[in-house]
A and B are shown apart, each in its own frame.
Chain A
């Protein structure tokens, strides 16, 4: 998950943020990391670019991208 955190930091251009500053269970959107709809697009691109995973149902996005942990679990299940 450390690697995934670094990929998220790079993809979202979270300059000067360290991987240790992201809690794997912390909500990525809203009050957590404060991500928004533009960042959601970036995470979709990240899954495709780094893992070859395409999300065909946008409604699943909310669950997939809830946290670093949920992203990691989805990647593991769909790689």
Chain B
């Protein structure tokens, strides 16, 4: 099947890149401030952002440039856009934070605002709510970015024919706040000579 990567974005080493071009380099060091500086660079006004955990913020911010020009949202119905993400550390970052918050038996107040994020699919939820996406979703866990797994899975959901576009890629942060996210927009249409074929070697090349 002819699928193409029509746009991609990356947040890594405190920088945001879109289609291989660095757009913003944060001067902050603390990860929360790095993400907030990217949020400000993108000129977002989305109060729900501040409630998100770090994994959701990372996925949300990486996805934002891919939808900002609204082009893809005007081309397809919400049900035609799928979201398939992956990572190695699931939600360990917020899991450890939540675990820490309930370890004191004398002061036991489980926090809904923490444990609501202890499921990686919530990253998809936050992106889907923001951009009104209603297609198939899935979150895959693998030890490292697995381009073959992503390619096979995404190829299969396009076979469904109801899917015309897919946001896919890697959104990962560990318990020590080491992170990387790379997201790809994949479409059936080849509407530009700049588009990259959705193949394993291209995914691996763009990821690194």
Binding site for B on A (CB under 8 A): 11-17, 32-35, 38-39, 41-42, 45, 49
Contacts and interface: CB of A to CB of B under 8 A. Distances in A.
19 contacts: A11-B113, A12-B113, A13-B113, A13-B114, A15-B50, A15-B54, A16-B32, A17-B50, A32-B47, A34-B47, A34-B50, A34-B51, A38-B112, A38-B113, A39-B113, A41-B112, A42-B111, A42-B113, A45-B109
A49 B111 contact: no
A16 B33 contact: yes
Given A17-B50, A33-B50, 15 more contacts: A11-B111, A13-B53, A13-B113, A13-B114, A14-B50, A15-B32, A16-B35, A34-B46, A34-B47, A34-B50, A34-B51, A35-B51, A38-B116, A42-B113, A45-B111
A44 to B, nearest CB: 10
Contacts, number: 42
A14 B51 contact: yes
Contacts of A45: 109, 111
Interface of B: 32-33, 35-36, 46-48, 50-51, 53-54, 109, 111-114, 116
Q: What are the 6 A-B residue pairs with the smallest beta carbon separation, nearest first?
A: A34-B47, A16-B32, A34-B48, A38-B112, A14-B50, A17-B50
A35 B116 CA distance: 14
A58 to B, nearest CB: 15
A39 B51 contact: yes
Nearest to A46: B109
Contacts of A39: 51, 113
A16 B50 contact: yes
Contacts of B50: 14-17, 33-34
